[in-house]
């Protein structure tokens, strides 16, 4: 069954989020002081770890040809840009 799931995140450089394969990442917004990712998923699909990472305004930008921008949101005085690095963490770290 297709559903929309919520994944609470930490504002850190890089993190792995376990979600069904083929999940469509919809947005990231603050909810009660916590950044949350919403994704449209097929809940019966096998799980994979997706690389999600944050960049602040003025920080080094990722390779936009490979990584998909999910959302931009504000958290107090900071503006965060959230990217999907896919399922290959070694590529994002290099």
Domain parsing of the chain, residue ranges = 2-93
Which segments in the chain show pLDDT lower than 70? 62-65, 88-94
62: Cβ contacts below 8 Å, ≥ 6 apart: 53, 55, 83, 85, 92
% pLDDT > 70, the chain: 87
Query: Length of the chain, please?
Result: 94
Q: How far is it, in rounded angstroms, from Cα 37 to Cα 13?
A: 15
Task: Return the closest-CA partner of residue 81 out of 92, 68, 91.
Answer: 68
């Amino acid at each position: 069954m297709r559903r929309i799931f919520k994944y609470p995140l930490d504002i850190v450089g890089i993190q792995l989020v376990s979600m069904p394969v083929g999940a469509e990442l919809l947005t990231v917004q603050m909810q009660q002081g916590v950044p949350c990712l919403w994704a449209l998923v097929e809940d019966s699909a096998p799980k994979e770890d997706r690389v999600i990472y944050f960049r602040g305004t003025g920080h080094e930008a990722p390779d936009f040809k490979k990584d998909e921008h999910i959302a931009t949101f504000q958290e107090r005085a900071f503006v965060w840009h959230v990217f999907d690095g896919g399922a290959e963490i070694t590529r994002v770290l290099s």
